[in-house]
Chains A and B, each alone.
Chain A
Amino acid sequence: MNIVVCIKQVPDTTEIKIDPVKNTLIRTGVPSIMNPFDKNALETALQLKDTYGGKVTVISMGPPQAKAVLREAISMGADEAYLVTDRAFGGSDTYATSYILSQAIKKLGGFDVILGGKQAIDGDTGQTAPSIAEHLGVTRLTYILDLKVDGDKVLARRQVEEGIETIETKFPILCTATKESNKPRYATIKGKLASFKAEIPEITLADIPGSDTAKMGLKGSPTKVKSTFTPQRNSTGVKIEGNSPEIMADSLITKLAEAKIL
């Protein structure tokens, strides 16, 4: 099984600061991490490989420092990693980014499954991965919990508001993973050592000839940010339920930790 995972390097914070003049994210002084939902997508990919065999390729579009998250993916067990990078790609919105990534995935050759996180914790749009499916014309399944392969059929369980939906489809597919999909594995020491030495080739504009440059970069991005503001917080209560005080306390601590309050 050929699996491609799209990952993004994001600032490690839930409090995004926005440059009031340029209307872009301020990244200085904030440590960068692999987008947590992309880590769930990578874990899904690694589990598929563990069960059915195959190859896991990770790609990321971004500046050279995004290689750090690609190395991290290798340390967790990804086989290959590519950085999609070019001056011409700078300033791309989700439409342009998904177009460029789809071109890069085409260049990498055949695939059965493309995976990504349900959204990135910086932009929170949740558009890029599903749009890749549109550009490539493949089946798109968002918020999947797991995938089972049965001959040429794929059974996917999706988390939807009403409950869990089971969908049967065929390869190739694009799926987005959520926090509920799994608990991402730790890197191994051997994986870390491999990641230090790993070659991470770059895919530039020159590597995707025939692609439409009018759909790339700032000029190829239909999204225009008109203004940015910090939304007013409307605090709503969350009811924590459970069979015992211990379970409820654990659940509370987990939620507080996730919200980075603890």
Chain B
Amino acid sequence: MSLLYTDEQKELLALVREMAETEIKPYVQEADEKGECPRELFQWGFDMGLHMLEIPEEYGGTGLSYETTAMIFEELAKVDAGYAITFVTTFVALRNVILAGTKEQGQYFADKISAGGFAAFALTEPGAGSDPAALRSTAVADGDEYILNGTKTFITNGAISDVFVGFFKTSPEKGHRGISAFIIDADAPGVTVGAHENKMGLRLSNTTDLIFENVRVKASAMVGPEGSGFKLALNALNLSRAFVATLAVGIMQRALDESVKYAKERKQFETPIIKFQMVQAMLADMAMKIEASRCLVNNTMKMMDHGIMVQKEGAICKAFVSDCAQEVTSNAVQIFGGYGYSKEYPVEKLMRDCKVFQIFEGTNQIQRMTIANVLDKEYK
């Protein structure tokens, strides 16, 4: 492993590994096939406290660093990245309410999660993916309330959340400066969970449409000043990009673990295939990409722990790591040969799971635009 872990970190990782291997792993294949994750599997995570790892203790969290939190989530992602992202999405939403909202809003949100709830970020719309300024959902002031209307799509944790951070246009004419964020209870009248997305991978992660029809929220549910929603969303993405990258590292590590094990067992021409140079080159390339990815994630986490805005670094991290993951998981399938293509073996799922990492939290094309835009400014 590429990092120097403290004795404490090693103990935490061993604990999470034991739980995930014993309680979650045996059920992953069935859950992947069904495209759902039973609540009792998540209960193990809640009981262990994996839902609020990096949330400050004053909000009932554990107060771990981003760095250690990321190590723990890599461990979970080795068993299932969809399971891990359900918790990541939850704490990223909470973290951003704490960062951008009032103390009361942070506490309100934290209490919902602390009690064993999930949260979601309701930003993407059918016509607004990479371009949030094209949002069509609206929030119209009415006395000391806002009336929310709109349809959101691809919402991670859509059907299982207790609370959302939703993004709506308070001033439709102002483009991205007209977007505001609101805290919305999942059981508020007018909130409906729409179609469940039947996804290629990450199938333990719940993804749905969300429909808001004349949903009334108090003006005090607005997070940050009016029109600051876009900025909040970008800050959230800075955080979540680094965390999805750590999940991709977990997927890759699993792919390598399975591949080396198989290459040592599988014999052709009366020789274990790990002794063939072509296979060796593939395994070595996989290991190189994983080590580099893990170091990149770790460095990004350390920067975030120091309060540094990781606009460029987060984009580099997410795009690099998720690009590596395609090659690594594809090669894992290649090493397994025909068996790799079969659902009987664990590696085809890894290939399916990792594709979306090039797409969500901003496509890797958008990441490259972000990187280049920052470079443009840096060299002025």
Contact = CB atoms under 8 A, between A and B. Distances in A.
B321 to A, nearest CB: 24
Nearest to A71: B11
Interface string A186-225: 1111101100100000000000000000000000000000
A196 B8 contact: yes
A186 B12 contact: no
B11 A186 contact: no
Nearest to A187: B15
B48 A189 contact: yes
A188 B49 contact: yes
A186 B48 contact: yes
A27 interface: no
Contacts, number: 34
B47 A189 contact: no
B49 A185 contact: no
A185 B53 CA distance: 19
Nearest to B64: A189
A186 B64 contact: no
B236 to A, nearest CB: 23
A106 to B, nearest CB: 33
Most buried by B among A188, A192, A196: A192
**Chain A interface secondary structure, helix, strand, loop or mixed?**
helix
Contacts of B11: 192, 196
Given A186-B18, A187-B15, A193 B62 contact: yes
Interface residues of B, number: 16
A75 B53 CA distance: 16
Contacts of B47: 185-186, 188
B56 to A, nearest CB: 13
B62 A186 contact: no
Nearest to B19: A186
Nearest to A75: B15
Contact of B62 (A75, A185, A190): A190
B115 to A, nearest CB: 16
A189 B14 CA distance: 11
Interface in B27-59: 44, 47-50, 53
Contacts of A185: 47
A81 B53 CA distance: 26
Most buried by A among B11, B18, B72: B11
Most buried by B among A186, A189, A192, A193: A189
A186 B45 CA distance: 10
A187 B50 CA distance: 12
A186 B15 contact: yes
A71 to B, nearest CB: 9
Contacts of A192: 8, 11-12, 15
Nearest to A196: B8
Interface string B56-79: 000000101000000010000000
A196 B11 CA distance: 10
A38 B12 CA distance: 22
Interface of B: 8, 11-12, 15-16, 18-19, 44, 47-50, 53, 62, 64, 72
Given A189-B12, A192-B11, A193-B62, 16 more contacts: A185-B47, A186-B15, A186-B18, A186-B48, A187-B48, A188-B47, A188-B49, A189-B15, A189-B48, A189-B49, A189-B50, A189-B64, A192-B12, A192-B15, A193-B64, A196-B11
